Amino acid sequence: MMIHTQIAKAIAKTLDYILSEEEVYNLLETPKQSHLGDVAFPCFTLAKIGKKSPAIIANEIKENLKSEWIHSIEVAGAYVNIFVSQDLSGNHILNQVLTEKSQFGSKPSTGEKVLIDYSSPNIAKPFSMGHLRSTVIGHSLSHLSEKNGYDVVRINHIGDWGTQFGKLIVAYQLWGEKSLIEKEPIKELLKLYVHFHEEAKKDDALNNQARAAFKALENGDEECLTLWKWFREESLKEFETIYQLLGITFDAYTGEAFYNDKMAQVVSELQDKHLLTLSQGAYVVELEDMPPCLITKKDGATLYATRDVTAALYRHQTYQPKKTFYVVGHEQSLHFQQVFQVLKKMGYEWATSLEHVAFGMMLKDGSKMSTRKGKIVLLADVLAEAIETAKRNMNDKNASLLDKELVAKQVGVGAIIFNDLKNLRTHDLEFSLEQMMSFEGDTGPYVQYTFARISTILEKGQYQPKEDTFCSLGEQAWPIIMLLDQFPSLVEKSFDQADPSQVARYSLLLARSFNKYYAHTKILVEDNHKQTKLAFSYAVSLVLKECLRLLGIAAPSQNVINEMS
């Protein structure tokens, strides 16, 4: 934050650098109430160093602290409360936003990579609402990584291997009809998968047939392999329609099957390093403070952990990432703890750079959605309904609006994405179509409409962007300038904590603050401050648009949706 940087510099100089500028900066606070100042400096750390009362130190700082950025100083106990020179600091902050535009808050390139493993749906199953969270959190995190100076490798670790394919193969052979599968592949495969589990409850022999079918698939049986490839290709086609709607692309679709021919070498390495222990016929790696990690079953078959250890090794060799994020539900927390510790025991120090970005479940009627039980909600259906709802809203407000199809998609899809990302990712979410479709209140469309409103104001005012010196904007604008100043540190913090919800909540606060300002300020009135107010509004719109982009949400054009707000 520019204000905190300048205040830290002044305080450090006053203290004769007993604390460095960085140390002072890290101690600075933003008071929750405006009457306590814009920035507060607590003196407890200095009291320990100088062995003086923090209140005495606070008064000494007040007497000696000088900076053109400071308007006035007050002492409250151990705190130095600083009121900033609003005109000077506001001028600097707004000029920085207007100069850097979409690059405001961006860090220079590090030349290093961040790898993100996200979305990861299972093939031969529909893309359900259960997959939304990993997909949109991972996508937003990819934008935040780039904003913080990293090159990003986006990996879709699709679930394209395992005993479920044995079940599908058996189900198709027993009850499937080729013509129906060809017409609606995913829908029919889901029916077969659910039907298999219903029948297996009555006849356990079906499970044995499924295990045998998967074993045949592993051994390269031609019929099983042909069916598996067909299931995979049709699934990826359907997934791609969802990803296009969400505006998401990946660098690789290297799923579980990709590592089949690479796991034997990893198992051998574990054996050579004397890390494998025989346990009831299976091989495990003993771990500290957690259950052992199962590497191979009694029959020699590998497991998820074997594949993830193999994948981590392959990715490190191929991409050399500085950091790797696994955006996977919190129910897999133990699994990733085990995988990371296995890699550490193998001697790979870079294992400390692997992070499980856990998130809560999408619940339906209080319980987890289940494909096996047929208890799912299709993401495609929800997106389609959100787009249709947005279109109806447009028709109700103004039937002659242009580009309705495009903007309905941007607003409808944005509503679904924002509804997820505004929540702390570790919390479970109850699926509520009504809440997702709400375009009022703390929603993505509210932020989009605020951006559109500002864009229309700028168009009516014939504003031409340029760097300028600003007149005083008044008290109504100051809280917004302070918010703009916080944006770069917010971007950094959101990345460090792998938490896009901070960007979503910030965008709501910025939108609400501007709308409050707009309600009390006549921006387009012809006076000496008109160009300053327009430039200020433009700066807000730039940051709002960038917030939406970081969340993976479009900012529709002003001409189309302004009249809907």
Contacts for 279 with CB less than 8 Å, ≥ 6 apart: 292
Output the pTM of the full model. 0.93
CATH number for the domain that contains residue 472: 1.10.730.10
Q: What is the pLDDT of residues 404-461, one digit of tens each?
A: 889 899 999 999 999 999 999 999 988 787 777 776 789 999 999 999 999 999 999 9
Does some domain include residue 142? yes
Using the 3D structure, point to which of 368, 398, 432 is the last residue of a domain. Answer: 368
**What is the residue whose two structure tokens read 């001028």?**
91
Using the 3D structure, point to which of 46, 67, 84 is the last residue of a domain. Answer: 84
Q: What is the pLDDT of residues 41-78, one digit of tens each?
A: 999 999 999 999 999 999 999 999 999 999 999 999 99
Structure token pair of residue 23: 């140390």
Residues 245 and 278 in one domain: yes
Lowest mean pLDDT across 144-148, 152-156, 383-387, 399-403:
399-403
Residues 185 and 70 in one domain: no
Contacts for 70 with CB less than 8 Å, ≥ 6 apart: 7, 10, 82, 83, 84, 85
Does some domain include residue 90? no
pLDDT of the residue at 295: 95
**What is the residue whose two structure tokens read 């990302």?**
421
pLDDT of the residue at 90: 92
- Residue 162, pLDDT > 60, answer yes
Q: How many residues does the chain have?
A: 565
Cβ-count burial 332-367 (b if 16+ within 10 Å, e if not) = eeebbbbbbbbbbbbebeebebbebbbbbbbbbeee
Does some domain include residue 553? yes
pLDDT of the residue at 373: 57
Does some domain include residue 99? no
Using the 3D structure, point to which of 63, 84, 105 is the last residue of a domain. Answer: 84
Q: How many domains does the chain have?
A: 3
pLDDT of the residue at 234: 87
Contacts for 151 with CB less than 8 Å, ≥ 6 apart: 109, 111, 112, 113, 114
Residues 362 and 444 in one domain: no
**Confidence band, pLDDT 50/70/90 cuts, at residue 239:** very high
What is the three-class DSSP state of 240?
A: helix
**Confidence band, pLDDT 50/70/90 cuts, at residue 141:** very high
What is the three-class DSSP state of 103?
A: helix
Does some domain include residue 147? yes
User: Distance between CA atoms of 551 and 448, rounded to whole angstroms?
Assistant: 12
Q: What is the pLDDT of residues 492-546, one digit of tens each?
A: 999 999 999 999 999 999 999 999 999 999 999 988 888 899 999 999 999 999 9
Residues 266 and 345 in one domain: yes
Alpha helices in 53-131 (DSSP H): 54-64, 86-100
Q: What percent of the chain has pLDDT over 70?
A: 96
DSSP secondary structure string for all residues of 122-166: BTTS--BGGGHHHHHHHHHHHHHHHHTT-EEEEE---B--SHHHH
The predicted model gives 326-332 an average pLDDT of 96
Give residue 15's Cα distance to chain centre. Answer: 40
Residues 360 and 383 in one domain: no
Q: Which structural domain, as residue segments, surrounds residue 472?
A: 379-564
Smallest CA-to-CA distance from 80 within 53, 52, 54 is with: 54
CA distances from 437 to 14, 382, 387, 521, 524 (A): 54, 9, 9, 31, 33
Query: What is the overall mean pLDDT for the chain?
Result: 92
Residues 291 and 162 in one domain: yes
Residues 242 and 125 in one domain: yes
CATH number for the domain that contains residue 150: 3.40.50.620
Q: What is the pLDDT of residues 166-188, one digit of tens each?
A: 999 999 999 999 999 888 888 89
Does some domain include residue 143? yes
Q: For 370, which DSSP code?
A: B
Residues 160 and 134 in one domain: yes
pLDDT of the residue at 558: 55
Alpha helices in 320-469 (DSSP H): 333-345, 379-397, 404-421, 433-437, 444-460
Residues 360 and 396 in one domain: no
Structure token pair of residue 136: 């949109």
CATH number for the domain that contains residue 41: 3.30.1360.70
**398: exposed, middle or buried (C-beta count within 10 Å: 0-12, 13-18, 19+)?**
middle
